[in-house]
Amino acid sequence: MKQAQQMSLQIAIDGPAGAGKSTVAKLVAKQLNLFYVDTGAMYRAIAYKALKNGILLEDELSVSQIAKTTEIILDHSEERVVWCDGENVTLAIRKPEISRAVSIVAAYVGVRERLVELQRREATRGGVVMDGRDIGTHVLPEANLKIFLTATPTERARRRWMELVKAGKNIPLEEVAHDMKQRDRQDIERKVSPLEPAQDAVILDTTGYSVEGMVAKIVALTQEDEK
């Protein structure tokens, strides 16, 4: 890939929770020497800040107000540190209570407007692989390649449960599956930028596929796009 093309390349990877977006996006970015932008971490940071400040998640006005003044910076190094108003929140935003809260704040217009602004700012730093739920449809509608990753609900719940177990969190698989089902419903039914594939997205089912195989497939698609 020519350097000029690489510096402007934008890859949007969307899909529901547990589809493998973040894992695949990080590896695609690394292989193509692009920046990885985890937009989900940005929404988690807003949920974390709201809870930390004692704001009721159902109070849309208050949550939107704090979002407007929140600065979120993603470290594009190997550490991938997430900074929220100068605080390292990388680990804190992965707690189960944040996972349950994030869909609520992500549905608010004020929150989405602010974070889309920050996400597009990240995309100006060079070629990017950006994952989320509305990247191809709203954040980067002109992306060079749009991918929609999915998997069976059972497989997605199992993957998320394994992540939590590895992180030392003892949470029943049934609880993880229930939370994920609720998250899916909220993402699909929200009025602002609902979860759905872009019309020109390539839909890939990751069930039964290795991470390496999926990464290779997406990298191959970027090469086809150049022809």
Tokens of 85: 């108003």
Q: Provide the CB-side half-sphere exposure for 20 (13 A, CA).
A: 25
Ranges of residues in the chain with a pLDDT under 70 are: 1-7, 225-227
Residue 184's nearest CA partner among 110, 102, 114, 129 is 102
List the alpha helices (DSSP H) in the chain: 3-8, 21-32, 39-52, 60-68, 96-106, 109-123, 153-166, 173-189, 211-226
- C-alpha 171/C-alpha 163 separation (Å) is 11
- Write out the binding residues for ATP: 15-23
Quick one: pLDDT at residue 164?
Answer: 85
Quick one: pLDDT at residue 7?
Answer: 63
Quick one: pLDDT at residue 227?
Answer: 52
Rounded to two decimals, what is the model's pTM? 0.83
Quick one: pLDDT at residue 4?
Answer: 40
Backbone angles phi, psi at 205, to 5 degrees: -90, 120
* CATH class of domain segment(s) 8-34+127-220: alpha beta
Q: Where does CATH 3.40.50.300 sit in the chain?
A: 8-34+127-220, 38-125
- Write out the binding residues: 15-23
Quick one: pLDDT at residue 225?
Answer: 58
CATH superfamily of 38-125: P-loop containing nucleotide triphosphate hydrolases (3.40.50.300)
